[in-house]
Structure 1
Amino acid sequence: MSHYKPYPVYKDSGVEWLGQVPGHWAVSPLKYVVTFRSGGTPSKDKQEFWDGDIPWASAKDLKKEQLEDTQDHLTELAVTSGAASLVPAGSVLVVVRGMILARIFPVAEAMVPMAINQDLKALHASSKLDGRFLAHLLRGLADESLCRLEEAGHGTKALRMEAWTSMQLTIPPSEEQCAILSHLDRETVRIDALVEKKARFIELLREKRQALITHAVTKGLDPNVKMKDSGVEWLGEVPEHWAVCKLSFRYSVELGKMLDEKKLTKTSLVPYLRNQDVQWGAINIQNLPEMDIHPAEIERYTVMDGDLMVCEGGDVGRAAIWRGESSVFGYQKALHRLRPRLQNTDTAEFFFFSLLTAKKRGVFEESDSKATIAHLPAEKFRQYRFAFPPKREQREIADHVRIESDSLDVLLTKTARSIALLKERRSALITAAVTGQIDLREAT
C-alpha cells in the first residue's frame, strides 16, 4: 500500500478497533444504515415448492462475490403461497449461521431477485450507503464481524446479532463511495485476472506432473524400447519385456483388523491407522487411536517399513508408503496392506505411482457401488492387472519420477504462495479503502 497516500486530515472515530478515520467521514452502527431481511426453507415434503426457476441461496452458494444463480431453486408456488419470499436484486447477502463462519465471512451481492434460507441475511442499504460499497465494507470488516460469533447448537457458529448490528461502519460522502468503488473495481479485476492466470498455471503443472507419472509407469524411460499390447485397456501398450499380471501374483493384499470397541482389553493396545490417516503420499501418525492387537496377531495386523497402505473405502485406491517407524502400528479394516511377495521382485515406490495413474484413469470406479461410500474389496483388488518392469527398472522409474515431480512441486508451491499473497493484497486493499486508511479520490 506504500504507493497510496493517506487523507490529509483524520479524526478519532471513538471506536478502539477502528481508530482514526478521515475527518469528513461519518461513523454509524450497521443497524442504523441498513435494513435486514431473513430467509427460510420451504417444506421439503412439498415437492411442488422445489426444482423451479427461482434461485434459493444458502451458505454453499456464497463462494462468489456476485451471485447470479444458486444450486437449489424454488417454484413460483413456493413464493405465492408464502413459504418463501424474494429479496430484490442489489441485496447484500451474508452468512449469519453455519460452520463456514469458523473460517471466513462470506459476502455476496444478489444480481437477480432470489430467496434465501434461514442461515443468511439480506441487507438493504439506506440512502447513506451505496449497496456495492456496503458489500465491500462488510468484506473489509470481515475479521471484526467474526469477532462477534457465538456457539450455536452442535458447535455451529452464529453471529450474535445485537453485537454485530451494533458494529460501527465508516460512511464516506456519496461521491467518495463512487470513487472508491471505481478504483476497487479496476484493482480487484486486475488482481483476480492474475489469480486466475496463476491458478491455470497450477492446473497445467499438475497435468504435466500426472502425464510424466503416467508415461513413466506405462511406457518406461527408454523411447526406443519395443512395445506390446498389455491386454489391459487403461495400460495400453507397454514395453515388451514387462510383466502384466494380476496384483495378487506380485503383492499380498491384506485388510486390517476390524475394530470392536466392546472387546478392548487394554492389555495389548497399539496405535492404529485409519482410512483418514492415509493421504496421497503421506501418512499421519499423530494422535492415533488404539486397538487390541494380541501378540499372535502382530504379524498379520501391523505394518513394516516399505508397506504400501491403500484405502479400501471412501477415496478408494488412495495410497502412501509406510516409512519404518520403530514402534508397532496396526491398521484398521478400512485399509489394505500391500507387501511384495518376493523381496527382490518389486518396489512399493514404483507401484505407488502405478496406483496413482490407475486412480487418475478411473480404474477403481467400476468398484464403486451405489452405496453411500465406495469400496474396493480385497478379492476384487487382487484381480486387477498391472504392468511390472524388472525391479532395477522400477527403481530407475521411481527415482526419475520423484526427481522430476519434486522440481514441479517447487513451482507449484511458489505459485500457490503467490496466489495467497495476491489474495491477501486484495483483501488488504479493500479494508484500507473502505476504512479510509488510503485516499482514493484521485487515485489512478
Structure 2
Amino acid sequence: MTNLTGPNLNRREAAGPKGEGKESPSTFPAYPEYKDSGVEWLGEVPAHWEVLPLKARFQVVGGSTPSADEEHWGGQITWVTPADLSSLPSLKVGTSARQITQKGLDSCGATMVPPGSLVLSTRAPIGSLAIASVPLSTNQGCKSLVPDKEKDSRFFAYLLKNSTEALNVRGKGTTFLELSGDELSSFKVTVPPQDEQSNVAHFLDHETARIDALVEEQQRLIELLKEKRQAVISHAVTKGLDPDVPMKDSGVEWLGKVPAHWEVFPIKRDLEFLTSGSRGWASHYSDNGAAFIRIGNLTRDHINLDLTDLQRVSVPKGSEGERTKVKENDVLFSITAYLGSVAVVPEELETAYVSQHVALVRLFKKKLLPSWVAYVTLSDVGKNYLSSQGYGGTKIQLSLEDVAELLVTAPPLDEQAAIISFLDHETARIDALAEEGDSVITLLQERRSALISAAVTGKIDVRGWTPPADTAPADRETRMETV
C-alpha cells in the first residue's frame, strides 16, 4: 500500500510516476511549474493558479435568528444551524431541524441564499460545510458563500472542507471560537482556471465515492462480525459445543431446550457476596489513589474490564471502603444504565472499588465459574433477562435482588471451563478481524483526506484524468450523495 503522509502532503511527496494505482496522490504527476503561494498552509501551488481571498469570488452572507414569537416558526423556509451541518450524510444541505416563516425571516433581517451557495459553520465547531440544494437561510452560527453563477461550488466545497484547521486558527473568542465575516472574507484560497476547477471536482467526486464505498463495505463487515460474535456466545452458553448431545426442555419459555445434563438456576444459588458501591464517592475523586470502577469500565461486548478511562479515588476510612473493594474473579454488573454490561476482575488488577452504579458479585465457584456467568450475561439470554427486569421509567435500573435472580445455564464446572476457553479463543479471533477492519477504515479515511488536499492545492495534476474504464461514472447527484 502506498505510504501517505496525510493532508499536509507536499508537492514532492505527492508527485510520482503516472500509473494504474490511482488511489493515492503519489500515483499522479505534479504540475510542470510551481510558485510560492505566500500562504503557509497552502505552500507551493501551480504557477498559473491564482491565490485570492474568498471575497474575490464569493459574497459572504451572515445569518440571524428570529425571536421566539410563534408566528416566526414552523414555516417552509429552511433555516440551517451548525448542528444541521455536522450531521449530514453528504455534501449537500436542503433540510433543517427547524424551519422559519417569511415573517420570521423579515423580522430578523436574515438573507435567503440560492442553491449552489456554500454554507459553513463559523461558530464552534468551525468548518462543517455543505452546498445548499434549495434556497435557504441560516442562523448566526453559519455564514454562506454565494458564488458567481458560472463558478463551480464543488471545488471550493472540497477546498474549504480540507481547510478546517486553517479556518479554526482564525477563530476568536473565549467561551467558544467564532470566525468573523471579515476573517472568512479575507481567507485566501487557491483559484484554478474554471475548467481545472471542474476537473478537480469531477475527479474528487469519483475517487471519494469509491473510497467511501470501500469504507461502507468495511463497516458492514464489522457489523457482521459483531453479529457473529454475539451468535457464537449465545449458542455456546445455551447449547454447548457438542452438536449431538441429548437435549431437554429447560422449563423456561425464552430459553428453550438445553443439554440434558445441564442445570438452570439463578446465580444466588452459588452466591457468596453481593453488594454495590456507596453513594457520594464523587467527592473523593483525586488524581492519585485507588482505581474506581464505573459503568464506563464495563462493556456489552467483552468480559474484560475497559480501563482506558479510569477514575481514581481517595478511599474514605471505615467499613464502606472494605465492603466495596473488589477481589480477583468478582463479577461486576452495570445496574443503572447499559444493562447487560459486565466484566470479570482479573488477577493483576490493582486495588480497586466499585461505584454505586455497579453491582459486585462474588461466587463460591462450587457450581458457577465467574467467566461463565459473564458470558451468559453477554448472551442474548442474559441481555434479554436484564433488560426485562429493569425498572425506573426514564432511568432504567436493576435492584441487587434482580442481579441475584439472574437465571443461568449451568453445565458441570469442567464443561464450563472448556466452553470459556473456546469462547475466549473465538471472540479474540473475531475481535482481531474487526480491529483489522477498523485499521483499514482509518487508512482509507487518511487516503481520502490526503487525496483531497493534494488535488485542491495543486500538488497533483489531474487534468488528464479519466474515470477507469471498468467503473461506470455515476451521475453528479449520485456522486455528491456519497461524499
Shift of 1:437: 0.7
**Which residue number corresponds to residue 397 of structure 1?**
419
Task: Name the stretch that deviates more: 304-313 or 113-122.
Answer: 113-122
**Which residue number corresponds to residue 129 of structure 2?**
107
**Which residue number corresponds to residue 408 of structure 1?**
430
Shift of 1:434: 0.8
Contact kept, 8 Å, 2:63 with 2:138, in 1: the verdict is: yes
Shift of 1:232: 3.7
SS of corresponding position for 2:200? helix
**Which residue number corresponds to residue 167 of structure 2?**
145
- Distance change >3 Å, CA 35–CA 370, structure 1 → 2: farther
Distance 2:308 2:457 in 1: 46
Which of 434, 440, 453 is 1:431 aligned to?
453
Which of 321, 326, 333 is 1:310 aligned to?
333
Distance 2:448 2:373 in 1: 43
Distance 1:40 1:247 in 2: 60
Shift of 1:407: 1.4
Q: How does 1:23-172 map to 2 (within 5 A)?
A: 23-42=47-66, 46=70, 49-50=73-74, 54-62=77-85, 63-68=88-93, 70=95, 72-74=97-99, 76=101, 79=104, 82=107, 86-98=112-124, 100=125, 105-126=127-148, 129-150=151-172, 152-153=174-175, 156-159=176-179, 162-172=182-192
**Which residue number corresponds to residue 359 of structure 2?**
336
Which of 235, 241, 253 is 2:274 aligned to?
253
The CA deviation string for residues 324-363 of structure 1, in whole angstroms up to 9 with x for no partner, is 34643221211111221x2232222122222122488544
Contact kept, 8 Å, 2:72 with 2:101, in 1: the verdict is: no
**Which residue number corresponds to residue 6 of structure 1?**
30
Distance 2:61 2:438 in 1: 38
Identity fraction in percent: 34
Contact kept, 8 Å, 1:234 with 1:361, in 2: the verdict is: no
The CA deviation string for residues 213-256 of structure 1, in whole angstroms up to 9 with x for no partner, is 11111211111122233344443322222222223333443111
Question: How large is the Cα RMSD of the aligned pairs?
Answer: 3.0
Contact kept, 8 Å, 2:270 with 2:368, in 1: the verdict is: yes
Distance 2:381 2:36 in 1: 60
Contact kept, 8 Å, 1:274 with 1:335, in 2: the verdict is: yes
**Which residue number corresponds to residue 173 of structure 1?**
193
The CA deviation string for residues 355-409 of structure 1, in whole angstroms up to 9 with x for no partner, is 1224885443334556443322223333332222222222211111111111112
Distance 1:59 1:291 in 2: 41
Which AA in structure 2 matches 1:89?
A: P
Distance 2:359 2:76 in 1: 47
The CA deviation string for residues 74-107 of structure 1, in whole angstroms up to 9 with x for no partner, is 2546646646764432222222223x45xxx322
SS of corresponding position for 1:108? strand
The CA deviation string for residues 101-151 of structure 1, in whole angstroms up to 9 with x for no partner, is 5xxx32222223344343322222246842111101102222322333445
Task: Name the stretch that deviates more: 376-385 or 199-208.
Answer: 376-385
State the TM-score, normalizing by the size of structure 2. 0.80
Contact kept, 8 Å, 2:299 with 2:306, in 1: the verdict is: yes
Q: How does 1:291-310 map to 2 (within 5 A)?
A: 291-310=314-333
Contact kept, 8 Å, 1:317 with 1:359, in 2: the verdict is: no
Distance 2:461 2:318 in 1: 73
Contact kept, 8 Å, 1:283 with 1:322, in 2: the verdict is: no
Which AA in structure 2 matches 1:335?
A: V
Task: Please list every run of 5 or more consecutive structure 1 residues that lacks an aligned counterpart in the other structure.
Answer: none
**Which residue number corresponds to residue 240 of structure 1?**
260
Contact kept, 8 Å, 1:37 with 1:122, in 2: the verdict is: yes
Distance 2:177 2:246 in 1: 62
Contact kept, 8 Å, 1:59 with 1:119, in 2: the verdict is: yes
Q: Does 1:228 align with 2:238?
A: no
Shift of 1:46: 3.5
Contact kept, 8 Å, 1:270 with 1:293, in 2: the verdict is: no
Which AA in structure 2 matches 1:176?
A: E
**Which residue number corresponds to residue 213 of structure 2?**
193
Contact kept, 8 Å, 1:139 with 1:431, in 2: the verdict is: no
The CA deviation string for residues 1-24 of structure 1, in whole angstroms up to 9 with x for no partner, is 222011111112122332211111
SS of corresponding position for 1:283? coil
Q: Which has the higher contact order (CA 8 A, sep 6+)?
A: 2
Which of 390, 394, 407 is 1:385 aligned to?
407
Which AA in structure 2 matches 1:258?
A: R
Which AA in structure 2 matches 1:59?
A: P
Task: Name the stretch that deviates more: 313-322 or 429-438.
Answer: 313-322
Shift of 1:56: 4.0
SS of corresponding position for 1:216? helix
- Distance change >3 Å, CA 49–CA 432, structure 1 → 2: same
Distance 1:369 1:115 in 2: 44
Shift of 1:297: 3.6
Distance 1:121 1:369 in 2: 46
Contact kept, 8 Å, 1:65 with 1:107, in 2: the verdict is: no
Q: Does 1:319 align with 2:318?
A: no
Which AA in structure 1 matches 2:56?
A: Y
State the TM-score, normalizing by the size of structure 1. 0.86
Contact kept, 8 Å, 1:293 with 1:330, in 2: the verdict is: no
Distance 1:45 1:392 in 2: 71
- Distance change >3 Å, CA 367–CA 4, structure 1 → 2: same
Contact kept, 8 Å, 2:340 with 2:382, in 1: the verdict is: no
- Distance change >3 Å, CA 34–CA 232, structure 1 → 2: farther
Contact kept, 8 Å, 2:116 with 2:147, in 1: the verdict is: no
Which AA in structure 1 matches 2:49?
A: W
SS of corresponding position for 1:258? coil
Shift of 1:170: 0.2
Distance 1:369 1:67 in 2: 42
Contact kept, 8 Å, 1:125 with 1:134, in 2: the verdict is: no
